[in-house]
C-alpha cells in the first residue's frame, strides 16, 4: 500500500468519524429552564440563540440566556439590571414585569415588555444581548399587555393583547390582538392602531385571553400565533395566517397547535398548562416551539412556577403543529444536531446540583425583592454574603434584606451556613422558602427570653408570621447550618450546629400552601437568605457562607 492510498484511507476514516459525530443526536430535556422561568421569548441571530423570561417584581428583571444548541443555556445578563432603569417598590411580587419579547434588527437587540399597574408598555435596546440595556422608553399608545416586535424588511410593527372593541367585552376574558406600525429609531408608533384578532380563533365559542402574539413570515404567508385559554390548565397556542401583515387573518382549521388540556389529569408525571409559545429555527433547520408549561406534583398544585419547555414543530399543509408525534408532551426529545456545551454554564435541565459562593460578585440568577440596595449587603472570601438587618420584612411591599434563588425541582434541597447573633427577638436571620408576601416558611435563628433559639414560621393572610415551632440552642454557635427539603406536597426543615449533623426540626409541612394554586398569581417559589429586624432600627448583620442546592426529581431517574 503506497502513501497516497494510506492517506486516502485515513481521510475516509476521518470523514466517517466526523460524520458520525455530527449525526449523533442530541437529547433535549424538558424543561430546558427548570423552575420559575415563565413567558419565554426566543431569538436566533446567526448560530446564537437568546432567551428571556418574565420576572414580575423580582430584581434584576428579565434574565438573558444564551445557547448554541437549544439545550445548554447560560445566563449572560439581565435586561433590567440597574435600579435607575426601573424598580418595583410598592408592587406585589406577582405584578411588575409581564411577558417580555426579544428581537433583533440591523445590529440592535430590542426587548419589549409590560410594567403592569405602573407605566405600561416599554422598549429597551442594546448592541449586546448581555447588556447593558438602555433605560426604558414607554409607549403610551400601546394599551394592553404582551407587546412584541415584528421586522419585515424596512418596516417594523408592534402587536399586543388589548381590550375588546370599543371597550365593550361580550364576555369575561374577551380580548383582542392589535397592532401599530413602529419606528424603531424613534421608539414610537406610526399611524393608526388596527385590530388583527377579535376574541380569538372563533369568537362564537367565547375564547378567553388571546395574548402573547408573535408574527412569523414564511413562504409568502404571515403567521400570527398567540396563546389562548388563560395561563392555567386550559392554556393553548393557536395560529392564523394572512398574505398581508395587516390581515385579514384566517385561523388554522385544527387549532390549537399546542395544548395539554384534553389529556387525563391522572397521567404519570404530567406536563400541563402549555402555551405562550414562540417558534424558532433549530440548528438542523427544523422549527421548534419554546413555550411555558408546568409540572404539578398533585392535581393542579405546583411550587416551581411556570417553566420553559421545548418541542419539535412540523409544518403540515402550510401550518405549524407542535409535538406532532405525541399529543402528550415529552420530557425528552431527540434531534439531529450537535450538542454544544458552554463554559462555566450551570445546568438548567434534568437533575443537577451546585453551590453558590459569595467571594467577588453575585451570581446573575440571584434575586432581590423589587430593587437592589447595594448598601445592604457585602461580599468577601472570609464571611461570604453579609446582609445588614433592615426593618423591612418580606411581608411588606418594600426591599428587605433578601437574596434568593429559584426552586427548580419538585424534589430538592437548599442549604446554607449562617453566622449571626441576635440581640432581641425582633432580629432574625435564616433560610426562607418564599412564594409571596403571605405564603412562605421561614427557618431562622433568633432569641427568646434572651436565649438563642431556632424558629420556624409561616406566612399568613394577615401579612404576619405564625410560629410553627421553635427549639432552644444550648448556647450561641459560631455557625448554624440550615436546610430545607422540598418533597412535592411537603417540606422538611433541618438545622445543625456541626456540618451535616442534621436535626429534623419539622417534617411534612404543607407544601400546597406555597403552590400557585393556593397563593394565586404567576410566580414560583424561591429559596432565600433573609434577615430582618422586624420594623426596629438596628446595626446588626448576618453572614451566609454559601447556598447549596440539589435537585432530585424522580422523572429523570
What percent of the residues of the chain are helix, what percent strand, and what percent coil, each to the nearest 5?
5, 50, 45
**377-380 and 440-448 as β-strands: parallel, antiparallel, unpaired?**
unpaired
Alpha-carbon distances of 217 from 62, 64, 136, 153, 317, rounded to whole Å: 26, 25, 28, 11, 16
Among 69, 103, 211, 427, the active-site one is 211
- The candidate with the shortest Cα–Cα distance to 362, out of 400, 405, 397, is 405
Half-sphere exposure of 141 (CA within 13 A, CB side): 15
Grid cell digits, residue 344 = 462555566
Describe the strand order of the beta sheet including 41-45 as a list of residue ranges.
41-45, 48-52, 61-67, 74-80
User: What is the three-class DSSP state of 16?
Assistant: helix
Q: How far from chain centre, in Å, is Cα 512?
A: 20
Among 39, 69, 146, 553, the active-site one is 39
Do 360 and 44 form a contact (C-beta atoms < 8 A)?
A: no
Grid cell digits, residue 496 = 445543625
- The candidate with the shortest Cα–Cα distance to 528, out of 472, 482, 488, 480, is 482
SS in 3 state form for 246-304?
CCCCEECCCCCCEECCCCCCCCCCCCEEEEEEEEEECCCCCEEEEEEEECCCECCECCC
Q: How far from chain centre, in Å, is Cα 57?
A: 12
**353-357 and 97-105 as β-strands: parallel, antiparallel, unpaired?**
unpaired
Grid cell digits, residue 505 = 426540626
Query: What is the distance between the alpha carbons of residues 320 and 31, in angstroms, rounded to a whole number?
Result: 21
Query: What is the distance between the alpha carbons of residues 162 and 203, in angstroms, rounded to a whole number?
Result: 15
* 211 classed as catalytic: yes
- The candidate with the shortest Cα–Cα distance to 72, out of 453, 381, 443, 343, is 343
> How big is the chain by its Cα radius of gyration, in Å?
25
**221-228 and 541-551 as β-strands: parallel, antiparallel, unpaired?**
unpaired
Do 478 and 427 form a contact (C-beta atoms < 8 A)?
A: no
SS in 3 state form for 493-540?
EEEECCCCCCEEEEEEEECHHHCHHHHCCCCCCEEEEEEECCCCCCCC
Catalytic residues: 39, 211
Amino acid at each position: 500500500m503506497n502513501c497516497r492510498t494510506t492517506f486516502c484511507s485515513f481521510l475516509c476514516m476521518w470523514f466517517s468519524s466526523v460524520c458520525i459525530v455530527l449525526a449523533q443526536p442530541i437529547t433535549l430535556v424538558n424543561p430546558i429552564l427548570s423552575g420559575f422561568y415563565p413567558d419565554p421569548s426566543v431569538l436566533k441571530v446567526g448560530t446564537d440563540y437568546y432567551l428571556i423570561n418574565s420576572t414580575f417584581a423580582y430584581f434584576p428583571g428579565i434574565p438573558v440566556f444564551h445557547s448554541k444548541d437549544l439545550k445548554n443555556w447560560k445566563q449572560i445578563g439581565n435586561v433590567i439590571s440597574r435600579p435607575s432603569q426601573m424598580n418595583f417598590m410598592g408592587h406585589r411580587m406577582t405584578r411588575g414585569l409581564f411577558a417580555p419579547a426579544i428581537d433583533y434588527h440591523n445590529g440592535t437587540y430590542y426587548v419589549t415588555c409590560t410594567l403592569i399597574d405602573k407605566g405600561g408598555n416599554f422598549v429597551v435596546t442594546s448592541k449586546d444581548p448581555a447588556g447593558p440595556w438602555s433605560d426604558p422608553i414607554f409607549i403610551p399608545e400601546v394599551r394592553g399587555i404582551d407587546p412584541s416586535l415584528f421586522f419585515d424588511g424596512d418596516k417594523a410593527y408592534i402587536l399586543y393583547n388589548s381590550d375588546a372593541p370599543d371597550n365593550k367585552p361580550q364576555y369575561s376574558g374577551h380580548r383582542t390582538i392589535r397592532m401599530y406600525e413602529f419606528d424603531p429609531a424613534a421608539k414610537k408608533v406610526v399611524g393608526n392602531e388596527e385590530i388583527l384578532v377579535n376574541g380569538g380563533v372563533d369568537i362564537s365559542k367565547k375564547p378567553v385571553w388571546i395574548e402573547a402574539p408573535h408574527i412569523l413570515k414564511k413562504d409568502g404567508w404571515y403567521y400570527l400565533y398567540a396563546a389562548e385559554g388563560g395561563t392555567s390548565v386550559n392554556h393553548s397556542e393557536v395560529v392564523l395566517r394572512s398574505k398581508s401583515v395587516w390581515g385579514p387573518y384566517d385561523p388554522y382549521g385544527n387549532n390549537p397547535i399546542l395544548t395539554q388540556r384534553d389529556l387525563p389529569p391522572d397521567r404519570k408525571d404530567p406536563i400541563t398548562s402549555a402555551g405562550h409559545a414562540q417558534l424558532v429555527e433549530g440548528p438542523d433547520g427544523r422549527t421548534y416551539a419554546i413555550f411555558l408549561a408546568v409540572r404539578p406534583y398533585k392535581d393542579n398544585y405546583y411550587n416551581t412556577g411556570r417553566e420553559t419547555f421545548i418541542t419539535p414543530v412540523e409544518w403540515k399543509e402550510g401550518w405549524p403543529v407542535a409535538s406532532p408525534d405525541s399529543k402528550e408532551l415529552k420530557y425528552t426529545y431527540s434531534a439531529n444536531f450537535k450538542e454544544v456545551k458552554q463554559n462555566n454554564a450551570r445546568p438548567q435541565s434534568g437533575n443537577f446540583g451546585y453551590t453558590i459562593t459569595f467571594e467577588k460578585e453575585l451570581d446573575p440568577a440571584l434575586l432581590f425583592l423589587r430593587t437592589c440596595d447595594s448598601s445592604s449587603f457585602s461580599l468577601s472570601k472570609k464571611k461570604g454574603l453579609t446582609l445588614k438587618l433592615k426593618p423591612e420584612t418580606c411581608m411588606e411591599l418594600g426591599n428587605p434584606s433578601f437574596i434568593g434563588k429559584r426552586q427548580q425541582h419538585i424534589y430538592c434541597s437548599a442549604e446554607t451556613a449562617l453566622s449571626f447573633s441576635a440581640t432581641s427577638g425582633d432580629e432574625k436571620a435564616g433560610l426562607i422558602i418564599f412564594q409571596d408576601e403571605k405564603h412562605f416558611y421561614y427557618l431562622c435563628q433568633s432569641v427568646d427570653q434572651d436565649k438563642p433559639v431556632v424558629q420556624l414560621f409561616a406566612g399568613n393572610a394577615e401579612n404576619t408570621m405564625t410560629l410553627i415551632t421553635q427549639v432552644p440552642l444550648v448556647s450561641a454557635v459560631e455557625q448554624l447550618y440550615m436546610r430545607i427539603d422540598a418533597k412535592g406536597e411537603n417540606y422538611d426543615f433541618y438545622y445543625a450546629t456541626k456540618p451535616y449533623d442534621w436535626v429534623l426540626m419539622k417534617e411534612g409541612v404543607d407544601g400546597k400552601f406555597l403552590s400557585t394554586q393556593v397563593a394565586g398569581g404567576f410566580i414560583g417559589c424561591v429559596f432565600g437568605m433573609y434577615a430582618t429586624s422586624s420594623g426596629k432600627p438596628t446595626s446588626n448583620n448576618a453572614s451566609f457562607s454559601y447556598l447549596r442546592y440539589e435537585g432530585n426529581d424522580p422523572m429523570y431517574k
